[in-house]
Structure 1
């Protein structure tokens, strides 16, 4: 019977091969029906018992092995025919191969000429042979279902195979469930599992449609699983509040082992009381399984992040992430444990930890293919915070290409905000504008929740930089309301307050700065990150006011570097260096900036130009002497920024000089190069710097 089962598994391939041969034989190319007609005539003249034998073998019966009952009676004791003789006759006629399989053209002709009812009857008898001997149908079940056979035994086996693949290969599971429906499976009974498979394969629309058919039924079957899938789909769509509605509909009495997931969703939309109604953090797992323990620790970690010692939540979530990595299963989750652990690490100033957690989860395939982009984008965000911009770009690129479907709205929003952050750190204004346009569209497709506050903070700063604060104002209002409903948890609120401080500084608005500064000072008692950011905020205010102590600014800058914000620290030190009265203070601050941001460059739009200026000063001013281009190093820096289309103010911000000083530099460059007008200046700058492509000079620079 093992030989028989092996033949069944090869039936589909052989049939496809034989069909192709039947309609495109070497001697009949250009006349596809000729071969089929010849075979039909040959079969018509064949012994009737031989035709029955060939039909049985075409359906899936095999030699040696049981044959259909009617045919079996004609062989053996009392039979009128000899099986071996018939086989020899079929082989001699070129209808049967030596291995017992029917020639493709004969197989096709037989199946086409036989009434479908008779074919299905033989197929049901074949299924009975398998079930009576306790054998699995295997790939034969798929072939029978695709061939139109409706049989409860075939449907049950396909469902069982799909259930086995559901948590490891959702795409295969989705195909198997669809084939089970063809074989007569109950569409309502399988709806939740089919939706889970579709969601795991990234087919959110299909998953949502399937879940809708389940949730509107009077007594939905497998409602808990259906709620988990629906909440996961809504989370990926960037509409976590709709997931909260689903769990509220399900209710605590039906939530079962999914109680921690309901708590994660409800906390994510600011409903702590609702979360506690579903899940008590101190409650033990409903079962001792690895997955049950993973879910419980996920809920416990999120609850811990709201308390006075939120860092404890990181270790709990890392344990949950490790367990899910070991389980190797794909579950419908609103957020994976690794993503939550990374978010907590990023919110507490530990981007390196966030990066390592995400790398491990991606390597283990945590959450399946659907979860990979989210993990890669969080990894990219952690790299950006650590000033590893190229690593951030690589991870973001991989996130966009890891699957065959586009990024879901939640991930598209984070990716767009990441592009804004990278452009801002590079000081690339044209790129920032392009990234901002993408982010503006992405934010229209998502809503505010606790787990996407970092992108909103980055967009708040960029909006202030571009004078577009109105575009994000109502979203930020919702973010503050959400945090207020949760009691302003320090871990989640501090980074957003820091974004508010930076936006207020860019807008030169002390009134907007005050509440954020107060909140950071108040949170300093329970949050090291808050204490560092409060110190940095004071340093920024003193620098912009022109009344600062070099040691205070340097200390604040190095503290920023210590909490995973080296770019922010170097930027603070670079700005202070440009405003220092004493050369000694300038050199000290530039040295600090170099330590924090060693890869700084003029294109970085941050401290790179100031750092190079400091290097020139340390070399006795030699870098300011003209070379073969006729321009000093400082003039080259200004010239590059001119070719990028920056205004006097933007040039000053990039290399830490006043707009008037930038204007003087450009006037001196014109005289040195002998340029008569703007076009002439741009042409001469391209020659002097070896630049082939550049932006047009901004009218304000004319």
Structure 2
């Protein structure tokens, strides 16, 4: 337009929108625009504040902007605990897709109930012509809600849909990739995370994604025992925590950073952040699922500090919560066993049951750590052996070790998972597989569940087909390597 002779002031708003969609840095407040374009630039400013991880500032900017600003402000208002304002803003007029997004965001206090609404909003956004820069996509909100509800398949599907459809533009694509890596970290699939972290090392990301990447880096460092990497991750995250610009949807990611702070003996960074989350949840009426998630963070911080009394206090608090999701119930159950283990009171059967519940809720790393912590504290050698075996079965750190990464030819399956997969293809039952591999039938069942997740199989027929494809490819790769 400029080359064709257009008035520069007349295209500034469009340039600001394009830059925001591309994820390029821009100071919307410093842009001089025509009066007719003030509203467009105001919406861009609100979206950019959200992208920088400043949800409170984003909410204020969008509330002050003309329609559809108040509708776009609803997710940020919920994220910062301003529920009354969010309810009022959700009633403002605007495009159908944005009204659905506002309605869905209002429901995220109960993630499991919010998922159908979020999926509907995501579908509406996909089919609507994008007229504004989105502060947050419904696909990203769906992923956050699905993970905390223990529905990893939905999280991955929605993020894949967003990436395939280009929802939110190139800038949002990085948001979706970072969240996808986060989903896979939580579920113990580290190969994607390691690959993406290498790519992001030189990338210029907005503040919201920088915090999440720091959490990913801290998570990988903690799982691999790399103290130097943990220290580096903390160095990158400390400024973000210092400004205390956290919100509800960052709660789980902040867990990794607070544990890193504990390991770095930076307690003064922890308490203010936890207090901010307490304030947000109070504003939302203390929704049970998020209360459990915050309690779980406090438990993990206590474990990292080897603070048995603090862990016991958290477990007692969680025992009084009535969670509504299977993952939150598993966390409450595990909290009690973990607190007992820290104090030296080990119920091996109770620990194993709690670890299995965590693994079934897509928290395999936490399940392995619970079993491992109990194993090193019990005075019963037989119980210690059972617990250590289960801890080893639940974790798969191959992708974190340079010479132990699973081959892409076999779909990222570990050696043990390949053994189980071959026997599944041979038609063996869980009991028969367990007898051959010296595993319990329950352990075999968990291996098969992880295999299903890694291969994306949603039915028995799909699983068998994928196993044939992957194992045939793996056999071919092995034979080539032996030539």
Pair in the same fold by TM > 0.5: yes
Match of 1:684 in 2: none
Q: Is the 8 A contact 2:47 2:135 kept in 1?
A: yes
1:198 counterpart residue number: 19
1:389 lines up with 2:210 in the alignment: no
Whichever of the two has the greater Rg, that structure is 1
The aligned counterpart of 1:461 is 259
Return the offset for 1:313. 0.9
* 1:575 equivalent in structure 2: 373
2:219 to 412, 421, 425: 421
Pairing partner for 1:502 from 291, 296, 300:
300
Hey, what does 1:438 align to over in structure 2? 236
**Separation in 2 of the partners of 1:330 and 1:398?**
31
Structure 2 match to 1:298: 101
After superposition, the CA RMSD in angstroms is 2.8
What is the match of residue 332 of structure 1?
133
Give the one of 29, 40, 58 matched to 1:243: 58
Q: CA deviation at 1:339?
A: 0.7
- Equivalent pair of 2:81/2:283 in contact (CA under 8 Å): yes
Distance 1:601 1:227 in 2: 45
Q: Which residue of 2 aligns with 1:231?
A: 46
Partner of 1:165: none
Q: How far has the Cα of 1:542 moved from its partner?
A: 1.7
Distance of aligned partners of 1:193 and 1:593 in 2 relative to their CA distance in 1, 3 Å threshold: same
Label 1:390 to 1:313 Cα distance change in 2 as closer, same or farther (>3 A). same
Task: Please state how far the C-alpha of 1:297 moved relative to its aligned partner.
Answer: 2.0
- Give the conservation status (yes or no) of the 8 Å contact 2:63–2:69: no
- Compared CA separation, residues 514 and 229, structure 1 to 2 (3 A): farther
- 2:172 corresponds, among 371, 378, 399, to 371
Aligned length: 402
- Segment of structure 1 superposing worse, 347-356 or 426-435: 347-356
Q: What is the rounded CA distance, in whole Å, between the counterparts of 1:301 and 1:522 in structure 2?
A: 28
**Partner of residue 312, structure 1:** 113
- Mapped partners of 1:265, 1:391: distance in 2: 29
Change over 3 Å in CA distance of 1:299–1:474 after alignment to 2 = same
- Which residue pairs with 1:269 in the alignment? 80
Deviation per CA, 1:376-408: give whole Å up to 9, x if none.
11111111111111212223445567xxx6111
Contact 1:490 1:527 in 2 (8 A): no
**How far apart in 1 are the matches of 2:219 and 2:176?**
18
Structure 2 Cα separation of the partners of residues 455 and 300 of structure 1: 24
Deviation for aligned residue 1:326? 4.2
3-state SS in 2 of match to 1:194: helix
Runs of 4+ in 1 over 6 A off after TM superposition: 600-604
3-state secondary structure, aligned to 1:472? helix
Structure ranking higher on relative contact order (CA contacts 8 Å, 6+ apart): 2
Q: How does 1:501-520 map to 2 (within 5 A)?
A: 501-510=299-308, 512-513=310-311, 516-520=314-318
Question: What secondary structure is seen at the aligned counterpart in 1 of 2:23?
Answer: coil
State TM-score, norm by structure 2: 0.76
1:230 and 1:293 map into 2 onto residues whose CA distance is 22
**Deviation per residue, 1:561-596 (Å, 9 max, x gap):** 011110110111122222333343223223322332
Give the CA deviation at 1:355.
2.5
Distance 1:519 1:260 in 2: 36
Give the match for residue 250 of structure 2: 452
CA distance in 1, matches of 2:46, 2:99: 17
Unaligned runs of 5+ in 1: 1-157, 159-177, 287-291, 605-702
Q: Output the CA distance in 2 between the equivalents of 1:465 and 1:352.
A: 32
Report the CA distance shift for 1:599/1:461 in structure 2 as closer, same or farther (over 3 A).
closer
The 1-side partners of 2:398 and 2:345 are apart by 26
CA offset digits 1:648-700 (Å, max 9, x no partner): xxxxxxxxxxxxxxxxxxxxxxxxxxxxxxxxxxxxxxxxxxxxxxxxxxxxx
TM-score, normalisation: structure 1: 0.53
- Distance apart, 1:191 and its partner CA: 4.3
SS of structure 2 residue aligned to 1:221: helix
- Asked if the contact 2:312–2:336 (Cα under 8 Å) also holds between the matched residues in 1, the reply is no
* Cα deviation 1:534-572 (Å, max 9, x = unaligned): 111111122222222111000011111011110110111
CA distance in 2, matches of 1:349, 1:467: 31
CA distance change for structure 1 residues 235 and 444 in 2, over 3 Å: closer, same or farther? same
